[in-house]
Chains A and B, each alone.
Chain A
Amino acid sequence: MAASQTNALNWFLHRITGTFLIFFLITHFWVQHYDHQAASVTHEVVTEKGEMPDYPEEAEEGVEARMGSSAEATPYQVVMQRLADPVYAVLWKGFNILFLVVALHHGFYGLNNVMTDYIRNPMGRLVARALSWTVALGLLILGLYSVITAGW
């Protein structure tokens, strides 16, 4: 009874987290690949070791405005426009943390569904479940740590 209720709740939650992920991923993709000022990844191929990608004018101006006129638009600085800014950092770190939690929940709940389908042995299921959620918890701590301390 209790078990089937949590299953129904989780089933529902999985659909909700999936829907939220659409919005998170669109924003994430826009910011990392499209926005001329904020995108960390440019449409350029780099093959030399140690070579850095070039960033558009908007990104260089943004970095200089925030980090001083001698600051260079390296990938790190471009990302720090958001993550080390006194105002935007709170919003972006909040966004990243929510994204992290939702993505981990959706991904690992889904993974457990898949594993339950293929692992027939109850003991095996228990082990797989315990193991996968341990990994998820580890990733949560790791992800929280990197995104919170970024730019300090």
Chain B
Amino acid sequence: MAVDTEERPTATASKTDATAQQERRFQRYRIRTGMFAWMMHRLTGVGLVVYLIIHIWGLTALTDPETFNALIAKYHSPIYKVGEFALLVAVAYHAMNGLRIVLIDFLGWSPKQKKLFWTLGAVTAVIILVGGWPSLYALGEWAFGPGSMPTLFL
């Protein structure tokens, strides 16, 4: 489920206009970040199921060399490289947000939730950049000509 990432607002005895507004701001923040994180988790989860169905279906090609070669060659076309990158983004997001949910559920990480949220966000960004570099590199080489992209760690 969607888990709040806010820190609990401090209890106030008398609510001045300013603190009431403060609380409303917290509430808006919670709905935006928490709801959005949950919706994206759902969306990527369902997307991954769709991919998994196509993937297993396609892998019946493993029984025939010609068909398998054609399948993997197709994975190297520009549009599939874009798809490969999108797939990684979906997997990385779903995995790290899922890990966040599991950690909170099992370890009860509540006071550190916000920190956990942003730490895992940074980890996700690193996974996407490092893991996605082969796809981006391939697309760049194709679009801007051989040698136009830095090889980096490839």
Q: Which residues of A contact B (CB under 8 A)?
A: 15, 18-19, 21-22, 25, 29, 33-34, 40-47, 50-53, 74-77, 79, 83, 100, 103-104, 107-108, 110-111, 114, 135, 139, 142-143, 145-147, 149-150
Q: Judge whether B154 and A15 touch: CB under 8 Å.
A: no
Residue of B nearest to A46 (CB): B76
The SS class assigned to the A binding surface is helix
| Binary A-proximity of B128-154 (CB < 8 A = 1, otherwise 0) | 000101110111011000000000001
Chain B residues near A110: list those with CB within 8 A: 45-46, 49
B interface, how many residues as a size bin? 35 or more
Query: A53's contact among B73, B91, B98, B133, by CB below 8 Å, is which?
Result: B73
User: Is there a chain A Cβ closer than 8 Å to B20's Cβ?
Assistant: no
From A22, A44, A53, A76, give the contact of B68 (CB < 8 A).
A76
**Selected contact of B63 from candidates A21, A40, A149, CB within 8 Å:** A149
Q: Residues on B close to A: CB < 8 A? A: 42, 45-46, 48-49, 52-53, 56-57, 59-63, 65, 68-69, 71-73, 75-78, 81, 84, 88, 91, 95, 98-99, 101-102, 105-106, 131, 133-135, 137-139, 141-142, 154
In angstroms, how far is the closest chain B Cβ from the Cβ of A99? 10
Given A45-B76, A76-B65, 17 more pairs with CB closer than 8 A: A19-B102, A25-B95, A43-B135, A43-B137, A43-B141, A45-B141, A50-B73, A52-B73, A53-B73, A53-B76, A103-B52, A104-B52, A107-B45, A139-B52, A139-B57, A143-B56, A145-B60
